[in-house]
Amino acid sequence: MAQHQHQHTIFAGVHAPDPQWLGLAEQEPALEPELPIVDTHLHLWDHAGYRYFLEEHVSDLAACGHRIEASVYVECFEAYRADGPEHLKWVGETEFAVGMGAMAASGKYTPCHVAQGIVGFCDLRLGERTEEALDAHIEAANGRFRGIRQRAKWDPDPRVRGNYCADGPGLYLDPDFGKGIDALGERGLSFDASVFHPQIPEVAALARSHPEVNIVLNHSGSPVGHSTYAGKEKENHAIWLAGMRELARCPNAYVKLGGVLMNLANFDFTRADRPPTARQLADLWRPYIEPCIELFGAERCMVSSNFPVDKVAFSFRTVWNMFKTITRSCSRDEKSQLYSRTARRVYRLPSDTATHS
């Protein structure tokens, strides 16, 4: 099998982790364990039998050794309503996330405020139906709803765009989509943008056109390194960096750091003898994390685990150790912003959240 075909097979879709292989990881102590963390990109789901609900997440929280105070749940096609109008079926995911969050908030299972903020889905191109869906999300969320993610990921190579993509190119440039962004702004909601790295200029155009709405770029801009992008590391990074420089000029644009495993594809977890150490992972991801901090500043960057997607390659402890390895030279104030304060401000989470005793 050709290398690019092999990579596509690995990195497309959702993969359940192999507990036995993950168990081969080097046992590392948690770095800076007292540093408060808000995880800005968490999924809870049951995808094709791969279940990761609160119970499974609590196990990762308890074992990681880091101080995860709260998290933001991000849409992942989970638990849509089985009936009713199509544009309101998406609200079922918000109802599901509220349930998971309410269990956590009881303090019975974890000290972490799981799903304290919720980013749901609706199609922002539907006019009045978009507005109805947004209001239904807000009502269902019991004060937790923070915004919408609608993916615009598109690439000419079908192996790159995979199954979780937009229905065509240029979604964020569609005038009807812009009206949906206006509806978000009217309700004080933010927008999570998901694109491949060549599309980052479209996110910048969106941010410039809607300066009143906070635009949060997911997964460090999703740099791609497999299929037709394989073997072009320098070219890919240059295009990514140029897009990020353009986006950084938009004061309402923010970046979620991390989450680049599946698209960057520079660690083949199916062939590795064991999971990467935090230092190894930091070396792999540093070229796509450090420039974000330099360009946007700590006040516009926030860490994210992208669990359980990235659990296929490393543990919950490793991802936070990786970030802390990369940010070792940052000041105390910068770390406070990167790990919690930026997230609390952008997603409007309580600033005085105390973990359950």
Residue 355 within a domain: no
pLDDT digits (tens, 9 = 90+) for 101-135: 999 999 999 999 999 999 999 999 999 999 999 99
Is residue 354 predicted with pLDDT exceeding 60?
A: no
CA 236/CA 213 separation, integer angstroms: 29
Within its chain, how far is the Cα of 91 from the centroid?
A: 20
pLDDT score at 49? 85
Residue 270: pLDDT over 90: no
The reported pLDDT for the residue numbered 68 is 98
Kindly state the tokens that stand for 200: 């980052």
311 falls within a domain? yes
Domain that holds residue 253: 32-346
- Contact (Cβ atoms closer than 8 angstroms) between residue 21 and residue 315: no
Residue 160: per-residue pLDDT = 94
Does residue 10 have a pLDDT over 90? no
Cα–Cα–Cα angle for 154, 198, 258, nearest 5°? 90
Of 302, 198, 296, give the one whose Cα is nearest residue 243. Answer: 198
- Among candidate residues 52, 220, 75, the one with its CA nearest the CA of residue 146: 75
CATH number, domain of 266, equals 3.20.20.140
pLDDT, position 352: 56
DSSP H helices in 65-152: 86-89, 91-105, 128-140
Is residue 91 within 8 A of residue 137, CB to CB? The reply is yes
User: What is the structure's pLDDT at 13?
Assistant: 59
45 domain-assigned = yes
The pTM score is 0.95
- If 0-12 CB within 10 Å is exposed, 13-18 middle and 19+ buried, where does residue 345 land? middle
Residue 2 has pLDDT above 50, yes or no: no
Is residue 4's pLDDT more than 90? no
Q: What are 197-241's pLDDT values in tens digits? A: 999 999 999 999 999 999 999 999 999 999 999 999 999 999 999
pLDDT (tens digit, 9 = 90+) per residue, 282-332? 999 999 999 999 999 999 999 999 999 999 999 999 999 999 999 999 999
3-state secondary structure string, 169-220?
Answer: CCHHHCHHHHHHHHHHHHCCCEEEEECCHHHHHHHHHHHHHCCCCCEEECHH
Of 54, 160, 71, which is closest to residue 115 (Cα–Cα)? 71
- pLDDT at residue 9 greater than cutoff 60: no
Give me the number of domains the chain comprises.
Answer: 1
What is the structure's pLDDT at 287?
Answer: 98
Contact between 195 and 222 (Cβ < 8 Å): yes
Instruction: Report the distance separating Cα 333 and Cα 340, nearest Å.
Output: 11
Q: Do residues 236 and 224 lie in contact, with contact meaning Cβ atoms separated by under 8 Å?
A: yes
Question: What's the confidence (pLDDT) of residue 3?
Answer: 39
Spatial separation of the C-alpha atoms in residues 54 and 107, rounded to whole Å: 12
Query: Residue 337 — very low, low, confident or very high, per pLDDT cuts 50/70/90?
Result: very high
3, part of any domain:
no
Q: Considering the domain boundaries, does residue 61 fall inside one?
A: yes
pLDDT score at 164? 83
> Whole-angstrom Cα distance, residue 169 to residue 154?
6
Is 37 within the bounds of a domain?
A: yes
Q: pLDDT digits over 147-203, tens only?
A: 999 999 999 999 999 888 999 999 999 999 999 999 999 999 999 999 999 999 999
Answer yes or no: is 22 within a domain. Answer: no
Residue 307 lies in a domain: yes
**Tell me, what's the pLDDT at 7?**
43
Per-residue pLDDT tens digits for 41-97: 999 999 888 999 999 999 999 999 999 999 999 999 999 999 999 999 999 999 999
- Number of Cβ within 10 Å of residue 104's Cβ equals 24
